[in-house]
Amino acid sequence: MPKNMPKLSPHWITEKHIDFEYKKYTLLAWLQEVESLFDQVRLYPPLAELVEHYRNAKALKENKQQLSDSFTQKLQGMDMENFRLLYEKAAADDNLMEEIESILDFSLPRFALALEEGKKIYDIVEKSTQIMPIGLVPLNSDAGYLFLRGGKSASTEVYEYEVTIFEQPDDKYRALHTTYVASYTSSFIHSYVSIKTDLIHGNAKLPNPAVYAVETEQHIPFTETFLPVAKRLLMRRLNTDSPIQSY
């Protein structure tokens, strides 16, 4: 996001002044900045942050205990025998809880509306974007290269990618990591196949890489939109192409 764009804290509802008018102004100002970015087809990170804020607000609305736990804790003293600090939770009276309920009731539909708008833009971008393998896809496609070409650009941006596995208590998940490699001027000499050959010769660690090219005819911001959309398309394609579907 632009440096001057204010960040909306994950705990914006329950921190600082819990006042409906103050929170209303804070939210509307932030959503106005998000709308401005969407008008420029700049989807990330505002779209991801919208999802996070909507989920947090919905969880607070549905879980009263979580709402209570979100209040700031105050230092009460120290337990010298067990060498630990003692905290007490700031009391939340009925008026305060009603104020938070009003903030949530105001926020949720506006988050949902902004999310709907962001998703519409994302869908338009995705429909104009195509992904294709370059050459044969190896049995293990968890490491390779991603070629990106957008609009009428005369260059192909090359990224190396790697899929890693991270575990959470309930399941395992696949995560995609990308690293910028180089930019090739598109020409007869620098076709996708020739770029792939050049990369193989220059990187002995990937002698038989999976290579995918993502193209779009739209002129869209590269970092904030094209690259994130391309990465999501690649991850979806890898999940389809992978011979192992246990993750």
Alpha carbon distances (Å) from 205 to 27, 98, 161, 201, 209: 48, 60, 13, 10, 9
Tell me the pLDDT of the chain (247 aa) as tens digits.
444 566 899 999 988 888 999 999 999 999 999 999 999 999 999 999 999 999 999 988 888 655 656 555 555 555 555 555 555 555 456 678 889 899 999 999 999 999 999 999 999 999 999 999 999 999 999 999 999 999 888 899 999 999 998 766 666 778 999 999 999 998 777 899 999 999 999 999 999 999 999 999 999 999 999 999 999 999 999 988 754 333 2
Closest by CA to 8, choosing from 53, 43, 39, 44, is 53
As a whole number of angstroms, the distance between CA 40 and CA 106 comes to 26
Could you tell me the residue ranges of all domains in the chain?
Answer: 20-127, 130-241
- Find out whether 213 and 196 touch, Cβ atoms under 8 Å: no
As a whole number of angstroms, the distance between CA 133 and CA 191 comes to 14
pTM of structure = 0.79
